[in-house]
Chains A and B, each alone.
Chain A
């Protein structure tokens, strides 16, 4: 197990290094000047542009720039945001909690309902319920998250006035409101973004759980359990589901990129102050150090998620680490 873990960790570090290299090359290979936005439409002299180029190291050869970026990274320095003039790491750290709250809530909702519905589908395999649930989940999967978010914000937030349509807190709330009132307010703001992201992402969870469950339901011990006279629901939930839950672990690794991508749009639509809206803002202001920092953080999360998934899987299934 130890040598397996070591090998897998080294592999993760290499993957991340390649991702870093890709991020760097992509940013520099694109036609266009990262500082063009600063010069476009603003009274700025060529001399000032020169100074800015020097400040951001853009006048150096590509190799030097990469070295400087990597050295900075190892010291926890990702550069300064062009638009906001503050360190990228500070901006990312400020926005991370809101995204973790959003992502954690989506995870909870997605997995609770996704697993339950997936098992129900497998239990009614080929039947009406199975077909309807598949069509519904695929419809959710076909929805652009920003569109669903806008429609929900308009209907629920504006037309019916049931829930707040934007932000994370009520700006008009009493300054000395109690903890319960604050939590309640946060929860109300959380509902629409979480529902939007869950609806567009639940299909993957359901599909995974359904097929894992179908594999298990074919096995002889299920037949034995039924032959012993156990009820369908008992066999489904006590015998089959426990074994079918296990492949679903791999979903965590797959699910993270979907969530991060979705949060860019959903946070932008609901003005949720997280990493996603930070990245969307960096795009519209062409703030490339911020965008690079955000992409690197996302890549790190994805690689870490994959590593943790594999470790969890190996701990539960010895065939993986010895195979």
Chain B
């Protein structure tokens, strides 16, 4: 890497770290994320993109490096099997189960049974998980290992382009694993009908997940990582259940990430507005709250502005159906009202596959 690129990376990394530390950088950093969108733009088959990690990261870099001056990228690479590893679910994969340019989808069926809670307690979460993948999701562990093996090269390739790799790995709480495996409907019934069993299994899973996260942060020298929340969102469950099955587990994961020197990016999809105040219990100036357009980001600023960097939240729908002028106007509003300090501009969740190129460009250019 030449000295100029190195300097550029340092400058961008400082900009992002300043935002995380609740300072006001020279300008608001832009750190997007997009997967199938880049395949469409580059004319790469979605079926190849989502199953071949070499093709995936090269495609992502090609498209994003042409879109303007990014500070960082959230994920450095993509593989569809990642979805199975966090939601313990089968997938519909383009080229295999769907047309080669269709969107991949998670098949939400009851792949995990109530007996599995006992099996987790008997066997330990790690061995149980290994057996679960081998028996019920064959090929997942192998595909995941192949994906992980490409990460160092992918990180280096992004950095060569002067783009910071911000949060390229994802971790989550036991709830997301069980909810995906059981299906959301059944899992919600489990929380009412066998709460003690569910909690015991969660408590058995947590130490494994913490240790796994610790090793990944060390092994890949991560700047940050996603600690994701999807079905754990406040909008889905009552405060009583959320306080018992959700928040304590996030707190522990966040603490481990910070202990290891990584920035926990709370990638929280759906509506978390009700519990924003609870996030004041997480360490100040160390985390990022990344919202997808469903949580009221302005309210988040009001409650957490002095405590936690906020990231987001150009709605995916706006990137698909809106105009560049609309996108620019919304980004300017975010920069002025949620920023300029303690704020990172990004899309909500992920740039959708059918986002218009000019809309994504408008988002990226809006920080200049």
Q: Do A and B come from one complex?
A: no
Residues of A within 8 A of B (CB): none
